[in-house]
Amino acid sequence: MLDRRETIVADLADLLPPGCLVSDVRGLVPFETDAFIAYRRVPLAVALPETTAQVAAVLKYCSRYGIPVVPRGAGTSLSGGAIPQEDAVVIGLSKMTRILDIDFPNRTATVEAGVTNISISEAVMPEGFFYAPDPSSQLACTIGGNIGMNSGGAHCLKYGVTTNNLLGVKMVLFDGTIIELGGKALDAAGYDLLGLVCGSEGQLGIVTEATVRLLARPEGARPVLFGFSSSEEAGACVAEVIGSGIIPVAIEFMDKPAIGICEAFAKAGYPMDVEALLIVEVEGSEAEMDATLASIIDIARRHGVTTIRESQSATEAALIWKGRKSAFGATGRIADYICMDGTVPLSKLSEVLRKTGEIAARYGLRVANVFHAGDGNMHPLILYNINDPEDAARAEAAGNDILKLCVDAGGCLTGEHGVGIEKRDLMLHQFTQADLNQQMAARAAFDPQWIMNPSKVFPLEGRPTA
C-alpha cells in the first residue's frame, strides 16, 4: 500500500500546480473529518485544484486506477458527508473562489463551487439583490457543498432551498468528462438532471461552477419573538399559521435549553421565562408587515402566547438572528452534540417534540431543540461526551430513534443536512429495497465504478458490484 500511495501522490503532483496537493501526515489531519466529528479517517491525499480542467484531470486519473474520491467543500457537513476513506483522494474546492458573472437583467450569478454562501449576497447587496438560501454556517459553507446536500436555512420557508434557487451547473463526471446542466434560463431543455444532481452528495460528479437565482431585497423585514409556556403550544401555533395560508419569511423554533444556550452566547435579548420561543420574520412594506403580524399574533394568542416582542431597530433584528444562527456553535461551547435533521408534517410537530423529549430521557441524555419550524425541519441537538464510548453510543442510538420517529410520523430522514454516513443505515427505514435499487441504478448511470463518495448515503449491504 505504501508503494502504491507514493506512486499516486507523485502522479497527482504532476497533474496539479505547486501548493495544490496535500500528502504529509500533519497536513492531512484537518481533512480527516467534517462537522460531524463522530468519525475520523485520514485520506490518502488531498487535491486542491484551482480550475475545472484540473478537477477533470484528477478524476480521470482516479477513474483509470479505481481510486475512490471524496468531494469536499468547507467541511461543514453535519452528516459525515465529507469524511474520507483511508484509500481515497479528497478533492477540495477551497481554491475555486471566483465570482465569474453577475447578470442583474437576468437576475443570476455564476460562481465557482468554493465561493461561500454569504459572499454571493454580499457581492450583489449594493444593487439591492440577495441569494436566498442561508444555512446557519453561511459564513463558511460553500455553494458546492450546498448543492451536494441541497442546503436550506432560516429564510427558505418562503424562498425555497438550494434546488429552488439553482439554475445551472458545470460538473465533472467520474472519468473526467465535463458537462453543463441548465443555465441562465428559468427552464432548461431535456430531462431535469439538475434536480437529480442537487442533493446527490457528490456521488454523481463534482460541481465546479453554479449559476444561481438572485432575488430583489424586500422593502423591509421585521423579526418578532413569540414566547410560549410549552413546546407543544408553540408547535401548534406554527401549524395553524401555515395552515391558515400565511407564509412568513421564517419561523424558527427554540426550546428552553436552546434559548439559554443561545442567549448566553449572543446576548440577543431572548426572554428567559418561557419554555419555547418562535422567531417569526415578516417582510414587505410597513403596512404589509403590520397586517401579516396582526394575523399571526391573533393565532399565537389562541395558543397561549405569553411574550410578544417586535424588533425595534436593525441592530436588534441582527441580534435576534445572531442568536439563532449561532445555535450550533454556542452548543459546541458547552458539550459535544449530534445534530439531527429529520422533517415532519406540521400537524405532527407538537407530538414529535414531546416524543423526542421522551426518547432523550429514556437514554439519560439532554436535548436542545432549535429548528426551522415553518417547514417542519427539526434539528434536535443531542448533548453527550464524545470521549465516553458508552455515552456516544447512547447518543447515536437516541438519534436513530428520533429519525425513525420522524419517518413514522410521515416525514423523512433529512431536510437539508443529507444522509452521509450518519443516516446511511437508516435508509431502509425510509425506503424499500426496491426503492433503493432504483436510486442506486440512477447513481450508477453517472458513476458505474462507484468511486465517487462511495461509503455514503446507501447501506453498505445490498449494493451492486462495481
CATH number at residue 265: 3.30.70.2190
* Residue 217: alpha-carbon gap to chain centroid: 23
Supply 94's cell numbers. Answer: 477551497
Residue 219 and residue 284 in contact, taking contact as beta carbons nearer than 8 Å: yes
Average pLDDT over residues 248-270: 94
Label residue 97 by pLDDT band (50, 70, 90). Answer: very high
**Of 328, 349, 379, the domain-final residue:** 328
Among 216, 247, 278, the domain-final residue is 216
Nearest to 381 by CA among 433, 455, 327, 418: 327
In a domain, 150, yes or no: yes
Taking residues 361-388, what's their average pLDDT?
94
pLDDT of 37 reads 80
pLDDT tens by residue, 322-358: 999 899 889 999 999 999 999 999 999 989 999 999 9
Of 125, 87, 85, nearest in space to 104 by CA: 125
Nearest partner of 129 among 99, 101, 102, judged by Cα? 102
Residue 454 belongs to some domain of the structure: no
Task: Tell me how crowded residue 220 is: count the other CB atoms within 10 A of its CB.
Answer: 12
Residues with Cβ within 8 Å of 132's Cβ and at least 6 positions away in sequence, in order, are 153, 155, 156, 159, 160, 165, 213, 215
Based on the fold, state whether residues 158 and 196 are members of the same structural domain.
Answer: yes
Same domain, 183 and 118: yes
195 and 285 fall within a common domain: no
Does one domain contain both 277 and 261?
Answer: yes
Same domain, 115 and 211: yes
C-beta of residue 93 within 8 angstroms of C-beta of residue 144: yes
CA distance 139 to 369: 22
Distance CA 128, CA 374 (A): 26
- The boundaries of the domain holding residue 225 are 221-328
Q: Please say whether the beta carbons of 35 and 75 come within 8 A.
A: yes
The mean pLDDT of 227-248, rounded to a whole number, is: 94
3-state secondary structure of 83: coil
In this structure, the answer to whether residues 264 and 343 fall within a common structural domain is no
The torsion angles phi and psi of 396, rounded to 5 degrees, stand at -65, -40
Assess whether 360 and 339 both reside in one domain: yes
SS (H, E, C) 184-226: CCCCCCCCCHHHHHCCCCCCCCEEEEEEEECEECCCCEEEEEE
How far is it, in rounded angstroms, from Cα 421 to Cα 427? Answer: 11
Whether residues 126 and 148 fall in one domain: yes
Q: Are strands 89-92 and 69-72 parallel, antiparallel or unpaired?
A: parallel
Residues sharing a CB contact under 8 Å with residue 279, sequence separation 6 or more, in sequence order:
154, 223, 224, 225, 226, 250, 251, 252, 254, 320, 321, 324
Q: Does the pLDDT of residue 179 top 80, yes or no?
A: yes
Burial of 210 (0-12, 13-18, 19+ CB in 10 A): buried
Reply yes or no on whether the pLDDT at 363 is more than 80. yes
Residues whose CB falls within 8 Å of the CB of residue 84, separated by 6 or more in sequence, listed in order? 31, 32, 41, 42, 43, 70, 72, 90
> Quick one: DSSP state of residue 465?
P
pLDDT digits (tens, 9 = 90+) for 381-397: 999 999 999 999 999 99
Label residue 1 by pLDDT band (50, 70, 90): low
User: Within this chain, do residues 117 and 210 fall inside the same structural domain, yes or no?
Assistant: yes
CATH (domain of 11): 3.30.43.10
Fill in the DSSP letter of residue 412. B
Rg (CA), the chain: 22
| Overall domain count for the chain | 4
Higher-pLDDT residue of 38 and 172 is: 172
pLDDT at 466 over 60: no
For 188, the grid coordinates are: 432548461
CATH of the domain at 352: 3.30.70.2740
At residue 26 the predicted structure's pLDDT band, cuts being 50, 70 and 90, is very high
Strand partners, 273: none
Could you tell me if residue 62 is inside a domain?
A: yes
pTM: 0.93
Region 23-29 average pLDDT:
95
